[in-house]
Amino acid sequence: MKKVMTGNEAIARGAFEAGVKVAAAYPGTPSTEIMETIGKEYKEIYAEWSPNEKVALEVAIGASMAGARSMASMKHVGVNVAADPLMTLSYVGVNGGLVLVTCDDPELYSSQNEQDNRHYARFAKVPMLEPSDSQESKDFMKSAFEISEKFDTPVMLRSVTRISHSKGIVELKDPVVPPVALEVRKQTAKYTMLPFYARIKHGVVEERLLKVKEFAEKFPGNRMELKDPEIGIITAGISYQYAKEVFPKHSYLKLGMVWPLPENLITQFFKKVKKVIVIEELDPFLEENIRTMGLKPKGGKGMFSMVGEYNPLVIEKGMMGKKFKAPEPVLIETLPPRPPNLCPGCPHRGIFAALRKMKVAGIGDIGCSTLAAYPPLSAVDSCICMGASIGQTHGMSKALGDAGRGKVVGVIGDSTFLHGGMAPLMNMAYNKSYATIILLDNRTTGMTGSQEHPGTGYTLRGEKTHKVDFIELGKALGIENVRVVNPWNLEEAETVIKEEIEKDSPSLIVTTGPCVLLKREFKKYNQPLFVDSTKCIGCKSC
């Protein structure tokens, strides 16, 4: 049977067909739909939203130790969070196959940076596969599990936004029965990375990489398509599609495994064509590694940018140089820009309206609340990574001393707080901060499309479960001043914030307004809401 699927749906299908038993993820665009699809479609797989990517990968490691095929999926920056277990996972290897899916975001459609996660494969010394369409997304998942078990290594599969969110035809197959038995094994030397064992493992990892490199020479995902002998293009992933679209007559070496690289195959390709050009989005990863083989491509990053997403036109322009003639635009008038904005009625708005009025610096975090940086609210002045707001606010208050009192506030969403905010909040109590943190509890992971987390009381599959009590949690972490406010009550919000930011000891203010898009919370309305034009003064705060 064939079905039209997005890359993410195909990755989920690949996990199912590979016989995956345990899958864990933390949401993040463009990766989120992988676990959402597994949750909805493949009930045979145990699937969870973990509180962060590090935990998700560790869950997968535990399942693999027990012999299960397991996976963790995340956005590119999620791998930074999971990097600690990843680096040592490379040493211990697997029992059941383990695949880490990273979805990168060239053009930063929904991310705080544009990092190229192919470097992680080289850094962690693990194989990485990179599909070019939905069919390959599914097929490469299955290959990844086979490679993982064959070479006793975790395998990374890299997608990008354009692969994850584009649709293509996928041929469906039945799931396989994985070869590794499920059991508790006592494997101290394999899994206990005391220096004594880890030292030995480092050598094993280096040898393993050489073996995978040999395998890469014959991996069917690495293939030559020989046509015009004048120009040969080495490419991978989505760049292959763009290049093929504009230059179908050139010769290609399409790499499905982007680490380790098949040196012999690449050398052969150089012999078969006169001029080799490397086309790859973001960093010159392939190009630099090919140059270290002593080979000299005629073009690469000299012709194409390191910044942003490519498309067929970008490729054509880079290849043609001065000869490039831009096509006539189809639309003469450009569409008005529509930057993302906080929703009308968003509970965060009340808090930011108060902060704007009070003119305090808002040390923001990742999530919908970051959008309050834009006018008219203009109440967020910083955003680095998940959980950073709390440490930053504490650090600022320590640097400023008394001069900063009443002038700085940290703001963080509920999902982000549970992801990376607990340790820095505990630190504030421990190291005697005076800073105030506002926990914007809208009962969901809003920014990524409303996923559950340990503070919502529901699991990925919608079962009721334990719900974190933020007030008790704040107190348990050592914060004595814990206050609760209704963010739609502007007066109350302002009064409480004013009181707390003047205190000598750290404060946590928890808001009670659920996300307006959260159907569960707003069932009772179940009808469109309208602005009462007789009362609206056009302040745009809504």
Binding site for ligand TPP (CB under 6 A): 26-28, 53, 75, 77-78, 81, 112, 366-369, 386, 413-416, 440, 442, 444-448
Peptide bond into 528 cis (omega under 30): no
Which parts of 236-284 fold into alpha helices (H)? Answer: 237-246, 263-272
Tokens describing residue 512: 């009670």
CB neighbourhood size of 123 (10 A): 14
Torsion region of 401: left, alpha or beta (phi above 0 gives left; psi -120 to 50 gives alpha): left
Q: How far apart are CA 153 and CA 477, in angstroms?
A: 38
Residue 74: strand pairing partners: 102
Of the candidates 285, 276, 143, the one whose C-alpha atom is nearest the C-alpha of residue 215 is: 143
Nearer to ligand TPP, 34 or 386 (CB): 386
Shorter beta-carbon distance to ligand TPP: residue 100 or 231 = 100
Nearer to ligand TPP, 21 or 453 (CB): 453
Closest separation in Å from C-beta 367 to ligand TPP: 3
Spatial distance between the Cα atoms of 299 and 276, rounded to a whole number of angstroms: 7
* CA–CA dist 159, 30 (Å, integer): 9
Least separation in angstroms between residue 349's CB and ligand TPP is 11
Q: Read off φ and ψ for residue 441, nearest 5 degrees.
A: -85, 95
Q: Shortest approach of ligand TPP to residue 370 CB, angstroms?
A: 8
User: Which residues pair with residue 257 across a beta bridge?
Assistant: 129
| Long-range CB contact pairs, 521-525, < 8 A, 24+ | 521/443
Strand 257-259 and strand 128-129: the pairing is: antiparallel
Residue 369: CB minimum distance to ligand TPP, A: 5
Contacts 24+ apart (CB under 8 A), 203-211: 204/91, 204/93, 205/90, 205/91, 205/125, 206/125, 208/93, 208/125, 208/151, 208/152, 208/153, 209/125, 209/260, 211/151
CB of 32 to ligand TPP, least distance (A): 8
Question: Which among 442, 421, 426, 434 has a CA at the least distance from the CA of 510?
Answer: 442
Of the pair 160, 447, the CB lying nearest ligand TPP is at: 447
Between 27 and 506, CB nearer to ligand TPP:
27
We find the least distance from the C-beta atom of residue 433 to ligand TPP, in angstroms, to be 21
| Smallest distance, ligand TPP to C-beta of residue 228, A | 43
Nearer to ligand TPP, 76 or 138 (CB): 76
Which residue sits closest to ligand TPP, CB atoms considered? 413
Any idea what DSSP says for residue 401? G
Residue 7 vs 27, nearer CB to ligand TPP: 27
Q: Which is nearer to ligand TPP, 201 or 419 (CB)?
A: 419
Q: Which is nearer to ligand TPP, 28 or 237 (CB)?
A: 28
CB of 110 to ligand TPP, least distance (A): 7
Q: How far is the CB of 513 from ligand TPP (least distance, A)?
A: 11
